[in-house]
Amino acid sequence: MKDVLVFGAGLVAGPLVRYLLDNGVKVTVASRTLSKAGKLVEGRKNGIAREFNIEKHDPVPLVKEADLVVSLLPYVYHTKIAEMCINFKKNMVTTSYVSKKMEMLDGKARKAGIIILNEVGLDPGIDHMSAMEIINGVRAEGGRVRGFHSYCGGLPAPDANTNPWGYKFSWSPEGVVLAAKNNARYLKDGKEIRVPNTELFKHYWMVEIEDIGKFEAYPNRDSIPYIEKYGITGIKDMYRGTLRNLGWCDAWYCIGKLGYLGDGKGSFEGKTYGEVMASLIGHKGTSSLKEALARFLNIDEDSGVIERFEWLGLLSDEKIPESGMSILDILTGKLKEKLQYEEGERDMIILHHEFDVEYKSRAEKIESTLVDYGIPHGFSSMSRTVGLPAAVSSKLILDGKIDMKGVHIPTVEGIYKPVLEELGKEGIRFKEKHFDF
């Protein structure tokens, strides 16, 4: 029986561990919270839980015993794990973006005869694989892709969309907040567009998804490198974006304008959330905090932005629970508290691609859309669409059906084709439409 070591037992680990256990793989889950690891393998003879903290414990004994290692730890730890996998000739899988440090391990991984497969989650992951399937299909018919727009969002299902923010956390709250600090870059009409993080949420437009509704889309990191990675040089438009419900971008632009995305620690002990807001806008007058905030942001008092801040509690008399926090911690804490799924509520994943394609005698637009829902009282859609691609990839590597070496992402047919086929069996499928220009 093959042995997979999984570092981390967080939000997306459940479907990954379940898939591997169900497919006859021995799985060791190593987590700093032993009870979380134990819950994932409970009642399974081929499952083992281990208490492990990457900052305190030596991973070597665990890595040595595995045939393959999956790292679901924060990305900053991936290269440390990868170097050990190279030393002991163990294949490795992550769902995270490839860092520069990880890229530099390509030669060592090839020499060790292992694959380090990254970006096999949802975004990144399924987005790459589904895009490349269509891009290579277009090439096979003698066409070329001239424009590519890809949008992805993890949102509450319509029946669970019950707060003014139109959002609930199906993955790391810290990850969501930190993503708001990213710069972005994309290609439009052949010109490179750079978006500083201060303007990220001013730089949005509307996208309509058939049978679902309208959403705001804003740029997701740097789209330009994927022109080369997808092999679509000469393209005029290249854009990867994030989908959110209406009103999200204006609210987050104001969050940035107010200074809530700062990292500096402050002395907030004994202060209320409203007092912190007042200090951010320099409010000391006789007008209400709400009125002063609207004036500072140059918006109406009854605007959706003010409503969202009020609902979140950022104008309240509630005292901040901890000292030594950063302003970012204060924001994240409130978001964590308020934007939670209730028992039995479903999340929803939307992944939508639009391709502008040219052939010798015609042009067409191709749309490919995945809409997936979480299972009430079961796995969320986010955990399934991130965890299952990594699980499927791991099993294919163990079975020798993915046999490449080095550091990779799933943009080659030998990876994406079998992974997408297996995901289809798990109910994760795209609907494709073609329109003549």
The answer to whether residues 104 and 80 touch, using CB atoms and an 8 Å cutoff, is no
Distance CA 29, CA 47 (A): 8
Active-site residue, from 123, 237, 329, 372: 123
Which pLDDT band, with edges at 50, 70 and 90, does 432 fall under? Answer: very high
How much is the pLDDT for 266?
A: 76
Residue 49: pLDDT band (50, 70, 90) is very high
Residues 60-72: pLDDT tens digits? 999 999 999 999 9
- Provide the pLDDT for residue 258: 97
Concerning whether 123 is annotated as a catalytic residue, the answer is yes
Retrieve residue 50's tokens.
């281990």
Where are the CATH 3.30.360.10 domain residues in the chain? Answer: 126-250+342-382+430-436
Give the lowest-confidence range in 30-44, 146-160, 195-209, 317-331: 317-331
Mean pLDDT of 269-277: 93
What is the predicted pLDDT for the residue at 286?
78
Q: What is the pLDDT of residue 284?
A: 87
Q: Which range has highest mean pLDDT (54-58, 92-96, 283-287)?
A: 92-96
Percentage of residues in the chain with pLDDT exceeding 90? 93
What is the tens place of the pLDDT at every residue in 318-350? Answer: 999 876 688 999 999 999 999 999 999 999 999
pTM of the model: 0.94
Q: Rounded CA gap, 155 and 352, in Å?
A: 14
Report whether pLDDT(385) > 80.
Answer: yes
Say how far apart CA 77 and CA 251 lie, in whole Å. 32
What is d(CA 235, CA 211) in angstroms, rounded to the nearest whole number? Answer: 30
Quick one: average pLDDT of 78-83? 97
Give the residue-averaged pLDDT of 265-278.
89
Average pLDDT value over all residues in the chain: 96
Q: What is the DSSP letter of 195?
A: E
Confidence grade of residue 135 (pLDDT, cut at 50, 70, 90): very high
Alpha helices in 90-201 (DSSP H): 100-103, 106-112, 126-140, 173-179
The CATH code of the domain at 3-117 is: 3.40.50.720
Average pLDDT over residues 37-58: 96
As annotated, the residues of the chain forming the CATH 3.40.50.720 domain(s) are 3-117
55: Cα within 13 Å, side-chain hemisphere: 4
Kindly give the pairing relationship between strand 213-219 and strand 205-209.
antiparallel
Task: Name the pLDDT band for 176 (thresholds 50, 70, 90).
Answer: confident
CATH architecture label of 126-250+342-382+430-436: 2-Layer Sandwich (3.30)
How many Å apart are CA 215 and CA 243, to the nearest integer?
6
